[in-house]
Amino acid sequence: MNFQKKDYIPLLYAILSALFFGSCAPVTKYFVSDIGPLMLAALFYLGSGLGMCCIITGRRIIRRGASPADSPVSRSDIPYLAGMSFFGGILAPVTLMYSMEITPAATGSLLLNFESVATGLMAAFLFREAVGKRIWAAMAFITLSCLILSYDPKGIFGFSIGAFGVLLACFFWAFDNNISRRVSGKDPFMCIMIKGLSAGVCTGVIGLLAGEIAPPLLEIPLFLLIGFFSYGGLASVFFLLALRSIGTARTGLFLALSPFFGVLFSSFLFREPFHEVFFLAFLVMVIGVYLLVSESHSHQHYHPPLVHNHRHSHTDLHHDHVHDPYAPPVSSSDEHSHLHAHKEITHDHPHKPDLHHHHDHKT
C-alpha cells in the first residue's frame, strides 16, 4: 500500500466516528438513570445540535470575520438535510424503539448489524457508488465479525414483526447515510446542528405524546453532553468528513466497527471480561479492515463540466481553476471554499468515490 498523508486522514475520520458511536451505549449505561428511549434519543440529538451551535459561534468569534474553510449550507441543501433529519433522526430511532419492545434482545442486537450492509447495498445499487469485489469481501468479513461479536447462544432468538421493524430502522439509517453524501462537502458542523435540533425537537414531541416524561433537570446536561460527543454529535461530524473523501459504502463499513469500541468501553467502565468470541471476531474484523484500506482503484474515467462549492486545495488533479480578485484566501492547510468550475477532462489515476468521482463503471 502506497499511502500518503491525505489518504490517512479520511480513514482516521471514519475510525473516530466509529469510536464515538461505539462509546454511546456503555457511557449512557454508566451515567444514565431510567428514562424513556424516545426522550433519551431526543436529548442526545438536542445535545448534538446545541453543541454544534456552540462550536459555530466560537469559531466565528475566533476567526473575527475571516472566511470559513468549509462551504456554508445553501438553500439547495435543505431537502437533503430534511431527509437526514426525517429518516435518520426521527423515523429510524422511533421505529427501532417500538420494534425492540416486541423483539428479543438477541435478535435485535444481531439485526442492527445490518445497517452497514444496507448502507453498502443502497450505495451500490440505488445511488450507483462504485463498489468492487474487494469492498464486497470487506463487507462480508466486517459483517461476520459483528455477528460473531453480538451472537449470544443463550439468548432467545426469534423473528417477528418487531424484527422486521428493526430491519426497517436499519434501512432508514442506511438511507440517511447515503443522502448525507450529498451535503458532505458543506460545513459539517452546520449540517449536524440543523439535523440535531430538528430531530431532537420532533423526537421529543413524539416521546411526550407517547407518555414519556422528561428526566430530572440536573440530569439533562449530562444527556446533552453525551449527545454532543457520540449520538449524532462529533461522531456524525467525523462521518461526514469521511464521506466526502471515501464515499458512503466504505465509511459505513468503518462505522460497523463501533461494537468493538463499545466492548472496549464496557470493559473499562464496568470491568466486564471480554466475551470468549471477542478475539475471533476481532481477527475477522482485522481481515475486513485490511481489505478495506488496501483497496486500490484506478482506470481511465471522464469528468463532465461541473460547478460547485466545497472545501478544496490546489495540490490535486482537479482544482487548477483561476481565481478572481474576490476569492477567499487559503487557510494554513492551503484550503479554502468558493464556487468554482471544473472543465471536462478524461484521465487515469487512483481514486475513491469522493466528491469528484461518482462516475459510472462498466460491469
Please tell me the least confidently modeled range out of 65-74, 87-96, 279-288.
65-74
361, part of any domain: no
The total domain count for the chain is 2
Is residue 363 within 8 Å of residue 131, measured between CB atoms? Answer: no
Same domain? For 198 and 324 the reply is no
Query: What pLDDT band is residue 106 in, cutting at 50, 70 and 90?
Result: low
Closest CA to 137 of 288, 294, 361: 288
Which grid coordinates are listed for 14? 471514519
356, part of any domain: no
358, part of any domain: no
Average pLDDT over residues 163-168: 86
pLDDT tens, 298-312? Answer: 888 888 888 888 777
Please tell me the least confidently modeled range out of 186-190, 330-334, 339-343.
330-334
Which grid coordinates are listed for 157? 432468538
Average pLDDT for the chain: 84
116, part of any domain: yes
Chain position carrying cell 492551503: 334
Same domain? For 68 and 210 the reply is yes
Amino acid code (one letter) for 204: G
Chain position carrying cell 420494534: 99
Same domain? For 240 and 339 the reply is no
d(CA 324, CA 361): 36
Average pLDDT over residues 6-33: 82
Same domain? For 89 and 138 the reply is yes
Out of 299, 316, 333, pick the residue that ends a domain. 299
Same domain? For 52 and 122 the reply is yes
At 357 the pLDDT is 72
Same domain? For 203 and 124 the reply is yes
89, part of any domain: yes
Most confident of 181-195, 280-294, 303-317: 181-195
Please report the DSSP string for 128-146 in residue order: -----HHHHHHHHHHHHHH
Query: Residues near 360 by Cβ (< 8 Å), separated by ≥ 6?
Result: 128
Same domain? For 141 and 41 the reply is yes
d(CA 194, CA 231): 14
Q: Report residue 205: phi and psi, to 5°.
A: -65, -45
308, part of any domain: yes
Chain position carrying cell 461494537: 259
Same domain? For 141 and 68 the reply is yes
Out of 240, 266, 299, pick the residue that ends a domain. 299
Other C-beta atoms lying within 10 Å of the C-beta of residue 359: 14
Same domain? For 221 and 259 the reply is yes
At 32 the pLDDT is 63
Beta-bridge mates of residue 310: 338
Domain that holds residue 18: 5-299
Same domain? For 265 and 342 the reply is no
Query: Residues near 34 by Cβ (< 8 Å), separated by ≥ 6?
Result: none
Secondary element (H or E) of residue 204: helix 188-209
Please tell me the least confidently modeled range out of 166-180, 189-203, 214-228, 268-282.
268-282
Average pLDDT over residues 14-31: 83
At 28 the pLDDT is 72
359, part of any domain: no
Looking only at Cα atoms, what is the longest distance across the chain?
Answer: 69
311, part of any domain: yes
Same domain? For 108 and 235 the reply is yes
Is residue 59 within 8 Å of residue 172, measured between CB atoms? Answer: no
Same domain? For 217 and 202 the reply is yes
At 362 the pLDDT is 61
Number of H helices, E strands in the chain: 14, 4
